[in-house]
Amino acid sequence: MKLCIASDHRGYTLKENLLKYLKGKYDITDLGTNNTEMVDYTKYGFLVGEKIKNNEYDLGIVICGSGIGISIACNKVKKVRCAKVDNKEDAMLTRKDNNANVIALSGKKDINEAIDIVETFINTEFGNLDRYVKRINDIYKYENGEYIDR
């Protein structure tokens, strides 16, 4: 399993602490930022989104101050299903029911809680029930206020 991770300046410390834990356990790539100097979360949300869209990585982790802005940016990239998660149950459900391929975390999250969330996300498989598959496919069919068959 190949993972990528990125953050803005407000998520930098949590990203670095997660990397210390994840390196050696997983094939993970740090896509930035590389310090606490102010940067736009959009850049890193789009970057991870593009890597996931292009199948360069299996799953992504994005972090900003709240986790919300970077998740919105990431979701602008086609084929990305990024969920802002706050706990292990959210992480499990977003993989099992929604087949999310990126999670977003708040940079304020405690490292031990963040590790539990990330491990749950990585180790939960998609439920692959027909109703879940249909709903995910519906997301990709919706464009400009209507469903478009592709």
Q: Which helix (H) or strand (E) holds 140?
A: helix 130-141
What Cα–Cα distance (Å) separates residue 76 from each residue in 65, 69, 70?
A: 19, 11, 10
* Complete edge-to-edge strand list for the sheet that includes strand 102-106: 27-30, 2-7, 59-64, 102-106, 82-84
Q: Alpha carbon 9 to chain centroid distance?
A: 17
Query: Among 55, 54, 61, which Cα is nearest to 29's?
Result: 61
d(CA 47, CA 102): 12
Residues assigned a catalytic role: 64
